[in-house]
Structures are given as structure tokens and as C-alpha cells.
Chains A and B, each alone.
Chain A
């Protein structure tokens, strides 16, 4: 690839207890693009974001952001790197004891010495960008799920980061707020020239905004390509996932002993 890469993941291995979550994952996130990571539930997509953010340690392999190995940085250097990253959590993860305004102001207050008037201007600009300037006095408990995520987005871009990580931005949203979020992610990305990593299993929404897509399954990258190439991919597993077929290479049934013997003898349950 010719474009410069912001995030490089190489040979990533990670396991939890008995379970292997990643067995050698390689990913490349080019600068200024939206890269989507997709896969069935339980494939560790969120875990991957936490590995990229340096919150989890891999068993093997490396994650490099702007050339720096995230897991070899000191605690202080890691925190400095994270100021250049924004992350949007599935739940929004707003601070429940602060108002909407203070939530968005939080990164500005802790990382800059800007005067109060300027903080106010920046916060209102960011809230305006997500359409919630009018809600700046509300507490997080007074917001709907979609609004929470938009405020969280405003907070994530408060410091104008280089990289933004979206964790399942569309999950549990009604069609309208899904549409709003898709539009927001796209415009925020274009307006600020951000690099974005979107983790999701909402096919339609994700394919509509992504420049490049990685599909992860069984701890490995199963397929990758642009949305248009994935749509016509002939691999059975990719097709099942992209087109949402209930049964296929990923079986409908959890592994179980033979149905007949299980019912008739009751032996299998003990």
C-alpha cells in the first residue's frame, strides 16, 4: 500500500482463560480513511479496540499507532498517545455525575489551559455539530440512547483527535438515530480529516460508510476488501455473514450431543 498507515496490527494473539480470541490478526488502517472491522457477535471486536487502545495486552504480536508500539510505551507515554485518540463506547460511557456540557468540556479542561470562554465556545461548537447544543444543560440520565452516543461523539472529538475508534455505534438504535449516526460519522470524518476504525456487525450501515472492511471470524481475518468487493465475495462464510443467512458454515446450533439420544435417554445432560 502506498498511503501512510496510522494503525498497524501485526500477528496479534490474545486469549482469555481457555478461549483463544485472536490467533494472528493483521490489520492496516490507512490515514484519513474509515476502516471497518466486522464479524459475528462474540468474535472479540471490542477486545480488538481495547488492544488498539492499549487497555489490554496481547499474548503475541504488536499494535503500532503512528509508528509507536502501543504495548511498549510507559504508562505516561500511553496516556499522552491517547490524547490523540477518541473512542466512542457502545454505552456512550458519559460521566454520570457531570452534565452534557461538562462531559464534552472534560477533555478540554484536563488537557488544556484554555480560558473558560473559549472552552464554552468549543463545547457549543462540538455539540452543534452533533445537533445537541440545546441539550447542553441536561444530565446523561435525561438523554435517550441515541443522544447519549451523539454527546459521546462530541466528547470524543473535543480535542480534535487524529484517530477515532467507534465501538458498535449502531447497536440498539432505532432506524432514525442509526441514520443520524451514519451521517454524523461520515461528516465528522470528512470535516476533520480523521482516521476512523468502526467495529460493528450492522452490515448495511457499516458498508455504506467504510472505505475498507475487515471481516473477522474464529480469531482470524476471514476476508478483507472494499465494500463493493465484499458484496460479491463468493466465499461461503463471507456470504453468510454479509447477507445475513441464518445457517451456513457458521451453524445455527451450538455444538451439542445427538438430539435424539439427548431427549430419549437424558444421559447427555449429566
Chain B
């Protein structure tokens, strides 16, 4: 893991051979990074947490979860309000504005809450995790911890990984709740949709397993991927100011792409047969 290996690079003269070498080296680098990231995840997660471990985890729950609460809830409110507004203008043409509650709830639970909350989480908490761990690496705090005989994977990385893994699904639930309430404010209180049909249509159409459950599964997957990318980028970066800025950017870019790509795959698996 943290043991680097010195090595010598081979640079041939023939340009064609050089391209083949570059291709091979690139592939090997990708496989190498994936392997390191996998070992990293494994070594961080296995093992029973001590009492100290729980304390560290709670502390990180505060930094990673509670501190992201404001941005996630405010965004949820606005997204719910916009959904209701946009949905209403289309549904009302067909006289189907009673279905507004169903539309808002299903879009939020199945798609928007897991995806948008994860994207916000990557920007708010993921980048902070990368920068924090990166700075600890740059100031040799991780190395000194190793030299004291404490594994930074267990002490620094694991609490952060678990905190991210637990807090994002909770944030996603909060996002949905506030979003549905935002849709209610706009649809019922402002645009005049009948309150009874807003809630009862929602109650009839939302399945606990199919919609809420699948949304939560998505959110758990995103939580793992985002936090994993964030802590690994922090742990693996080049410990200079430029390296930290690059790694922070990479965290947000990789995490966002991974969220959107995985969302498509998961949606196809979960809801693919419906249509």
C-alpha cells in the first residue's frame, strides 16, 4: 500500500514500439491503480472497530454528514418546488394535475434524491475529505502515524469511509422528504392542486420496496463509490500543493461520472422491465 516500489522505465527508440509500450504501460497503470484502490478499501474496512474507533466515526459523522445537511436539504426543497412547478404546467393540459403528488414523489425517490444528493455530497464532503487527507499526507502526519506503529488506514481512513457510507443514505432520505414537502408547497399551497389527491395519489403509487427501497440501494452504492474515491484520492495523491488541487478536482470529476454512470446501470436493472 504505502510501500512504494522503485522502478526503472524502459524507453525504446522506435516510435511504433514506443506507442505499444505506452499503451501497455497505461493499461498496467490503470490495473495497478484499481488493485491499490481495492486493497486500500479492503484493508480499511475489515476488522472490528474499537471503542476509540466508534468515537472517531461519530466525529466524522459530524464533519461528513451533519455539515452537509444544510446544502442537501436546501437543494432538496428547491428541486421539489421546481418539479411541482414544471410538472403542473404539463399535467394541467391533460387535466391530470391530481397526479402531481405521484410524479413528484416518484421522480424524487427513484432518481433525483439519490443522484443529486450524491453529486452534492461529492462536491461538499468528498472534496473536503480528499483535501484533508492529502494535507495530512503532505505534512507527513500519515507517515508519522505509521512510524508510531498505528495503521492510518484503520485510524484515519476507516472512520471517514464508514461515516460517508452511512451518512449519504440518511441525507438522501432527508432530501426526498424535504423535496416532497417543497412540491406540496408549490403544487397545493400555491397552484391550488387538491390536497387530498396530492397525498393519496402518492400513497397509492409509491411502493415501499420498488421505489423507496431501490432508491436507498442506489444511494448506498453511490455513498460507497463517492467516499471510496474521495479517501483514496487523498491517500494516493502526490503530496504537493499542486497534487492536492489535482486530486480534489479528480475526486469531484470521477465521483460525478461514477454516480451518473452507475445510476444508468442501476436504473436499467431495477426499473428496466417496467416499460
Contacts and interface: CB of A to CB of B under 8 A. Distances in A.
Interface of A: 14-18, 21, 50, 53-59, 75, 79-80, 82-83, 85-87, 89-91, 93-96, 106-107, 109-111, 152, 155
Given A18-B9, A89-B140, A93-B143, A55 B148 contact: no
A94 to B, nearest CB: 8
A50 B136 CA distance: 17
A106 B149 CA distance: 11
Given A82-B149, A91-B139, A111-B149, A21 B6 contact: yes
A89 B6 contact: no
A95 B144 CA distance: 9
Interface in B126-157: 136, 139-141, 143-151
Contact of B146 (A21, A55, A90, A110): A55
Given A54-B3, A56-B3, A57-B5, A96 B149 contact: no
Nearest to B4: A56
B139 A107 contact: no
Contacts of A15: 6-8
B200 interface: no
Chain B interface size band reads: 20 to 34
Contacts of B151: 75, 79
20 contacts: A18-B8, A21-B6, A50-B143, A55-B2, A55-B3, A55-B146, A56-B6, A59-B7, A82-B146, A82-B147, A85-B147, A89-B140, A89-B143, A90-B140, A93-B139, A93-B144, A94-B144, A95-B145, A107-B149, A107-B150
Q: Tell me whether chain A's interface is mostly helix, strand or loop, or mixed.
A: mixed
Given A93-B139, A93-B141, A57 B6 contact: yes
B183 to A, nearest CB: 41
A97 B148 CA distance: 17
B141 A57 contact: no
Contacts of B2: 55
Contacts of A16: 6
Contacts of B139: 91, 93, 96
B144 A87 contact: yes
A80 B141 contact: no
Given A55-B143, A57-B3, A89-B143, A107 B9 contact: no
Contacts of B148: 82-83, 106-107, 110, 155
A95 B132 CA distance: 12
Most buried by A among B7, B143, B147: B147
A164 B137 CA distance: 21
A89 B144 CA distance: 7
B7 A110 contact: no
Contacts of A53: 146-147
B20 to A, nearest CB: 20
Contacts of B143: 50, 55, 89, 93
Contacts of A155: 148
B62 to A, nearest CB: 13
A50 B52 CA distance: 28
B109 to A, nearest CB: 38
